[in-house]
Amino acid sequence: MRRARVAKLAGAAFCVGLSSLNAVAYRQAWVFTHFAPPGPRTKAGQLSLGDAARLLIDGVRIPRPENRRTPADVGLAYERHVFAGGRGIALEAWLVPCPDARVADDDLRPAAIVVECPFDTLIGAVRHRFSRHGLPSFPLADLLVFWGGAQEGFDALGFRPVDLAPRVRVPTLLMNGDQDEWVRVEEARAIFDALPGPKTLHFFAGVGHDSGLRNRPDEWKAVVGDFLENHVDTGRGGVAAAEVDPPLSEAGRRPGGWASSARASRERR
């Protein structure tokens, strides 16, 4: 009798613990995919025990970005358009008139692709963020990704951009940071190795998970300019459509990471 009672209590404790863990993961998934009110953003780094506990319960705080500049600040005329987005959110877009502009649509077949800091798997990217905050990634990262996918309606655990890379047959420039703790060097190399077409891999030295253009503007412009010069006809005669198998609109559009940085080394194939 006593053994049965202990087993029953242990089972109840396990169920309560598992339910609590899922509740925390559900909350984390929600705050990861919804902006917080204006205020300070949760900073990455090692946290105290109290801060870590609060972070596990409340989730990472990501306030909605605010932009106080417009194209007019850099001398460009523009038109302002506001339209209804999903979940009742109003979206604003700026149209900057450009002669001979090419409009993207669902059947877009680009002549080349420039990518900055794409993660190889969504679960890996989330695990890195837990580690960056000094928190154990398992099983919270796995539960967070599961519930995030359930909330957003897609298979988040199965979302693996590295498995989509073989479908991209156009020339591709992939840039990443050699000090990026969120999208690591080995992830960039995994995607690069999976690309079947002409490709270039560039690392910006000493840059983390951030834009290469912001941190190394001259180097970024030189790398991108060299890539476009070698792979894209920039003349007014137009660019022939390149092959993507299947078209990009069919290859999945779930969020990939962006940022850039890394070492001044380049690989080209």
Residue 258 shares a structural domain with residue 170: yes
The predicted pLDDT at position 247 comes to 43
Q: Which residue is it, tokens 């087993």?
A: 7
**What are the backbone angles phi and psi of residue 29, rounded to the nearest 5°?**
-60, -40
pLDDT tens track, the chain, 269 positions = 678 888 888 888 889 888 988 988 898 888 888 888 888 877 766 567 777 777 777 777 888 888 888 999 989 999 999 988 777 778 888 888 877 666 655 667 788 999 999 999 999 999 988 887 777 888 888 999 999 999 989 999 999 999 999 999 999 999 999 999 989 999 999 999 999 999 999 999 999 999 999 999 999 999 999 999 999 875 533 333 334 444 433 333 333 333 333 333 445 55
Residue 89 shares a structural domain with residue 190: no
The predicted pLDDT at position 254 comes to 35
Question: Measured between alpha carbons, how far is 43 from 100 in angstroms, rounded to an integer?
Answer: 43
Q: Is the residue at 205 inside a domain? A: yes
Question: Measured between alpha carbons, how far is 259 from 218 in angstroms, rounded to an integer?
Answer: 16
Residue 9 shares a structural domain with residue 94: no
How many domains in the chain? 3
Closest among 159, 220, 236, 164 to 194, alpha carbons compared: 164
Two structure tokens written together for 234? 């920039």
Range of the domain at 196: 102-120+160-268
Two structure tokens written together for 61? 């705080």
174 neighbors 118 (Cβ within 8 angstroms): yes
Tell me, what DSSP letter sits at residue 218?
A: H
Q: Is the residue at 131 inside a domain? A: no
